Structure 1
Amino acid sequence: MVTIYDIAAKANVSAMTVSRVINNTGKISDRTRAKVRKVMEELNYVPNHNARSLVLQQTRSIFLLITDIANPFYTTLARGAEDAARKNGYRLLFGNSDENLAKEADYVQTILTTRVDGVLVAPAGDPSLPHLEALKKHNVPFVLLDREVPGIECDIVLGDSKDGARRLVEHLIGEGHQRIALVNGSSSISSARLRLQGYQEALKLGGIEYRDDYLFEAGFGPSHDPRGIECWFEGLAEQPTAIMAGNNVLAMAIIRLLRERGLKVPDDLSVVCFDDLGPFAEIDPFLTVAAQQAYQFGYLGIQLLIDRIITREMASPWNKIVLPADLLIRRSVKRLTPAAD
C-alpha cells in the first residue's frame, strides 16, 4: 500500500509536506503542491480519511433526526438535507423518532457514542430539552428544524406556523364559514402552539367567538389516535362546517373518518391543513393547504450546521431562519352563502 513516505521520497519532499498537501494546511508553494499531487496520481494514492478524521476530530458525517419519515414534509426535508450535505462533502446518517421521547433519547445516545460532526434535529417537543442539553454538554453542534424548545439556545430553521394558520382560517371565513374547528398537534410542540394562535387570531379578526369544543389535540405523527378524533367528532353538539388540520397526517385521518361516515369533502364538510401532501398532491391537487418550503428546511439547516461545525470555537450569534408558508387554494373548501350559517 502506498504511504505518504513513498510519495515524499519520489517527490523529494518531507512527509510533513505531503501531509499538508493532503489536508490542505500550512504554507506550501503552488509548485511544490502541484509536484506532490502529480506523484500522488502516478502512484494511485488514496488518502486514508479514517486516519485523518482521528487527527482532525472530524468524520464528515452529519446525523439527521426527524419525527416521522412517512410524513411527506419530512421526506422532502431529508432530501434537501442530503443534497446540501453531499454538495459540501458530508455523509448524512438518519434516525426517525416517531414523535417518541424514549426513541429520541436512544438516538441521542447513539449520536453521542458514534462520532459525527453535527446533528440536524426536529425535536419531539418541549420535553426534548434534556436530549438537546446532552448534545450541548458533549460539544456536539446541532441545528433545530421546524420546532423550538424553550430553554435551549441554538441555530434553528422554522416555518411561519402562526401566519400560515391564520391565512388558512381567513380563507375559510372568506368563503362564508363560521363554525370552524381545529384538530391540532400537542400543546407541547411549539409549531402546534403557533398554529393554534394563528387560528384564534383569525377567528377574532373575523368576529367569530372561539369555542373550546371545536379544538381537539392529537399527535402530529404516527402516534396519534384516530379513535380519539372519531370520539371528539361524534361528541360535538353542533357539527362544524369546516375543519383545519394542524398537519397533513391529521388531514388524512380526518378525510378517512369523514369517508367512513359517508361524508364528502367539501360537499358535506370543508377541510384545510398545514403542510402539503408531497408527490401525492401532484396526482390530485385537491386539498387547500399552507405549504411549507420543506426542501429549504433541510438544505438551509445543513448550511447552518456546517458553518457552526467550522466555527464551533467562535462565539458567533445564533441564527434563526423563519420560512413563510404558501397558501395553495384548491378544491377542498365549499363556498357557503350567508344563509347557510
Structure 2
Amino acid sequence: MSTIKDIAKRANVSVATVSYVLNNTRFVSPEKKKRVEEAIKELNYVPNAVARGLRVKNSKVISLVVSDITNPFYPDIAKACEQVAYQSGYTLNIVNTNDQDDRFIKAVMQLREGKVDGIINTTVLDHHRSLMENLIKDKYPIVLAHRLLDGINMDTVVADNIQAAIDATNHLINLGHKKIAFMTGVTKSSINNLRIKGFLKAMKDANLPTKEDWLASGQAKYQQSYDLTKELLKNSNNRPTAIINISDLGALGVLDAAGDLGIMVPEELAVVGFDDLFISSMRSVQLTTIRIPRYEIGQKSMELLIDKITNNDTNNHHNILLPAELIVRKTCGSRIID
C-alpha cells in the first residue's frame, strides 16, 4: 500500500508538503499541490485511519456509490438500500462520482476515515482493482453491486448479464434478423464486457457474422447513442435491421434517430434496450428491453453489507447472481432478412 513518503517521492516534494495538502493545514503553491494530487491519484493513495488509530466505530452511516445520480437506473437501487438501512438503524449516504476517479477515491476515504461503516459500490471499473484489493486486505466492509471485478474475492450482487444479452439477441434472431448491431457502454465496465460476451455468443451459436463497426459505444447515453445510430443507418444498402443498446436511455436515442431519418420501428428497424426503466413501458415508447432487478440488487446488497458489519465478518464472501427478464413490447418486428 502506498504511503505519504511514496507520494512525496513521486511528487518531488517534502513529506510535510504532502501532509499540508492532505489536511489542508497550510498554503501550498498551486504547482506543488497539483503534483501532490497527481501522485495521490497515480498511487491510488487513501489515508489509513485504522493505522493512525483514528477510526470511529459505529457511525451508523453507509455509503451508496453511484456513477450518475441523474440516471433513472439508480433510484430503485437507492430506495431498496435506504429502506433496508433504515430498518437496521442506519442512514444512507449517496455519493455521485460521474465515473471520476477523484470522487471515487473520496468515497473510499470516508470508509477509511471511519465516517461510514461500509460501502455499496455500483461504479467500480477495472483500474480500481488495486484499490479494492487494499480495502479487502484491510478488512473493510464493502459490497460490489451491479458492476463487479473478476479475480477479486469480495462480496457481489449482480444480474446475469451474459444470459440477459443472449436472451435479447436470440429474441431478434428468432424474429428473423441477421444484421444485428450492439451499442456498447462504458469501456472497461463489467456490465459492458459481460453483455458484449453474451451478444457475441448468441451470434456465434446462430452462425451469424458480427461487424466491427456495428459493435460501437453509445456510452449508454441518449445523445451519444442518437449520433451513433445516425452513422449506422446512413447507408441504406448496408445497415443493420436491428439494434441492441446496452441501456434504455441509449435505446431512446436509437428510436429518435431512426424517427428523424424516416426509418420505421419496428417495420424497418428493431430496437432492444436494457434496464426496463419506467419510461420504457409508456404507450408512446413501448420498448422491448431486458428487466434488470434493480430493487433486488439494492436490497440484497444492503442486507449482505449490514450482516457483515454486524457480525464483523470480512473473511467470508458471497456472490449473488440474479436473473434478468426479457420484456417484449412493440419495438421489435418479425421480417424475412436476405
What does residue 87 of structure 2 align with?
Answer: 87
Name the SS of the counterpart of 1:72 in structure 2: coil
Aligned-partner SS, 2:73? helix
Is 1:264 the counterpart of 2:271? The answer is no
Contact 1:65 1:94 in 2 (8 A): yes
Whole-Å separation in 1 of the counterparts to 2:145 and 2:267: 37
Greater shift in the superposed pair: 295-304 or 114-123: 114-123
**TM-score (normalised: structure 2):** 0.76
Bigger Rg over Cα = 1
Decide whether the 8 Å contact of 1:112 with 1:138 is kept in 2.
Answer: no
SS in 1 for 2:216: strand
Residue 152 of structure 1 aligns to a residue whose secondary structure is coil
Specify whether residues 221 and 96 from structure 1 end up closer, same or farther in structure 2 by C-alpha distance, changes over 3 A only: farther
Which residue identity is paired with 1:209? P
In the alignment, what sits opposite 2:326?
Answer: 327
* CA displacement 1:238-296 (0-9 Å, x = unmatched): 11000001111221222222223232321221100121122552555611111011100
Specify the alignment match of 2:66 in structure 1. 66
Alignment of 1:268-283 (within 5 A): 268-278=268-278, 281-282=281-282
Q: Match for 2:275: what amino acid?
A: D
The within-5 A match list for 1:159-198 is 159-198=159-198
Contact 2:55 2:113 in 1 (8 A): no
Shift, 1:138, TM fit: 5.4
Task: Report the TM-score when normalising by structure 1.
Answer: 0.75
Tell me what 1:126 maps to: 126
Partner of 1:34: none
Indicate whether 1:211 and 2:199 are aligned.
no
Q: How far does the alpha carbon of each residue in 1:119-165 deviate from its partner, in whole angstroms, 9 at most, with x for none? A: 00012421222443454465431100111123532100011011011
Letter in 1 for 2:67: T
Matched, 1:302 2:291: no
For 2:233 and 2:189, locate their aligned partners in 1 and report how far apart those are by CA, in whole Å.
Answer: 23
Matches within 5 A, 1:1-341: 57-113=57-113, 115-133=115-133, 135-136=135-136, 139-220=139-220, 227-228=227-228, 230-234=230-234, 238-278=238-278, 281-282=281-282, 284=284, 286-313=286-313, 315-316=315-316, 318-336=317-335, 338=336, 340-341=337-338
SS at match of 1:310: helix
Shift of 1:73: 2.3
Q: Quote the Cα distance in structure 2 between the aligned partners of 1:283 and 1:101.
A: 39
Number of equivalenced pairs = 285
For 1:18-77, what per-residue CA distance to the aligned partner results, in whole angstroms no more than 9, with x for missing partners? xxxxxxxxxxxxxxxxxxxxxxxxxxxxxxxxxxxx998101111000112233321211
CA contact under 8 A between 1:84 and 1:299: conserved in structure 2?
Answer: yes
Look up the match of 1:5.
Answer: none
Q: CA RMSD in A?
A: 2.6
Question: Equivalents in 1 of 2:223, 2:65: separation in Å?
Answer: 17
- Higher mean displacement: 327-336 or 136-145: 136-145
In the alignment, the residues of structure 1 paired with residue 146 and residue 78 of structure 2 have an alpha-carbon distance, to the nearest angstrom, of 13
Does the 8 Å CA contact 1:76/1:278 hold for their aligned counterparts?
A: no
Give, as a single letter, the amino acid of the residue that structure 1 aligns with 2:88: N
Q: AA paired with 1:166?
A: I
The 1:186–1:263 alpha-carbon spacing in structure 2 relative to 1, beyond 3 Å, is: same
Q: Give the C-alpha shift of residue 211 in structure 1.
A: 2.1
Deviations 1:191-247 (A, max 9, x none): 211111111111122221222222112323589575455445547971100000111
Asked whether the 8 Å contact 2:184–2:217 carries over to 1, the reply is yes
1:104 partner amino acid: F
> Which residue is 2:38 aligned to?
none
Rounded Cα–Cα distance in structure 2 between residues aligned with 1:333 and 1:106: 43
Deviation at 1:335, TM superposition (A): 1.0
- Structure 2 unaligned runs (5+)? 1-53
Unaligned runs of 5+ in 1: 1-53
Q: What SS is found at the alignment partner of 1:200?
A: helix
Cα separation, 2, equivalents of 1:192 and 1:167: 16
State the shift of 1:173 in Å: 0.8
For the Cα contact (< 8 Å) 1:213–1:236, is it kept in 2?
A: no
Q: Do the aligned residues in 2 keep the contact of 1:101 with 1:124 (CA within 8 Å)?
A: no
Relative to structure 1, the CA distance from residue 75 to residue 222 in structure 2 (aligned partners, 3 Å threshold; closer, same or farther) is farther
Question: Alpha carbons of 1:302 and 1:236: their partners in 2 closer, same or farther (altered >3 Å)?
Answer: farther
* 1:115 partner SS: coil
In structure 2, the CA distance between the partners of 1:55 and 1:204, relative to structure 1 (3 Å rule), is closer
Change in CA separation of 1:176 and 1:152 when aligned onto 2, cut-off 3 Å = same
Secondary structure of residue in 2 paired with 1:77: helix
